[in-house]
C-alpha cells in the first residue's frame, strides 16, 4: 500500500506482521484468502477512518517471494542443515582434515571467525597455506621491520 501511513497501532492491535518505511507498508498473512480479507479491511480503515487515498496500482495481494520492498525481496528456499554444512566439510577434507573431524567442525554451527581456533582449521589452514595464497604474515613483517 502506498499511503501516508503513520498510525500503525491499528495493525499492532490486530496482531498483523508488517514492515513499514515512510509511506510504504507491507502486511504479511498466512494465505491468499487472508490477504484479500486484510486488504479489504485495511482499505476500509485507511479510507474511512484516516481519510487516506490508496494507490490501487501499487497495492496488491501477493506471495512475499513475488514482492520487492525497498529493493529487497524474500526467498522461499529452505536449505537442509547438511546442505549448509557440506561446503565447509568438503573444504576441510580437501585440505587434508580427516572426514570425521571435518564434519564435526562443520556441524559446530560456528562461523569462520570462531572456527579459526579449532584444531581442524589450524591443521587445514596453517601458515604455509596462507603463504601459498600470497598473503603476508604480519608477524614475519613485524620481525623484519624491527631488525
Quote the CA–CA distance of 142 and 122 in Å, as a whole number. Answer: 22
**In 109-144, which positions are buried (b, 16+ CB within 10 angstroms) versus exposed (e)?**
eeeeeebeebebbebbbeeeeeeeeeeeeeeeeeee
Quote the CA–CA distance of 2 and 26 in Å, as a whole number. Answer: 9
Q: Could you tell me how far CA 9 lies from the centroid of its own chain?
A: 27
pLDDT confidence bin for 22, thresholds 50/70/90: low
pLDDT tens-digit profile of 70-126? 776 766 665 566 677 788 889 999 999 999 999 999 888 788 888 888 999 999 998
pLDDT at 1: 45
pTM recorded for the entire structure = 0.42
Beta bridge partners of 25: 20
User: By the 8 A CB rule, do 8 and 18 touch?
Assistant: yes
pLDDT tens-digit profile of 49-78? 878 788 778 777 877 777 776 776 766 665
Amino acid at each position: 500500500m502506498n499511503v501516508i501511513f503513520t498510525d500503525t497501532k491499528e495493525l499492532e492491535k490486530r496482531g498483523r506482521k508488517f514492515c513499514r518505511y515512510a509511506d510504504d507498508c507491507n502486511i504479511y498473512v498466512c494465505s491468499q484468502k487472508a490477504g484479500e480479507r486484510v486488504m479489504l479491511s485495511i482499505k476500509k480503515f485507511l479510507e474511512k477512518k484516516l481519510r487516506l487515498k490508496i494507490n490501487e496500482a501499487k497495492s496488491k495481494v501477493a506471495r512475499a517471494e513475488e514482492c520487492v520492498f525497498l529493493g529487497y525481496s524474500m526467498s522461499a528456499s529452505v536449505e537442509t542443515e547438511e546442505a549448509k554444512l557440506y561446503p565447509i566439510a568438503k573444504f576441510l577434507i580437501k585440505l587434508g582434515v580427516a572426514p570425521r573431524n571435518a564434519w564435526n567442525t562443520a556441524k559446530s554451527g560456528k562461523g569462520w571467525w570462531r572456527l579459526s581456533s579449532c584444531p581442524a582449521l589450524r591443521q587445514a589452514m596453517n601458515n604455509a597455506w596462507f603463504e601459498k595464497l600470497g598473503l603476508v604474515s604480519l608477524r614475519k613483517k613485524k620481525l623484519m621491520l624491527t631488525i
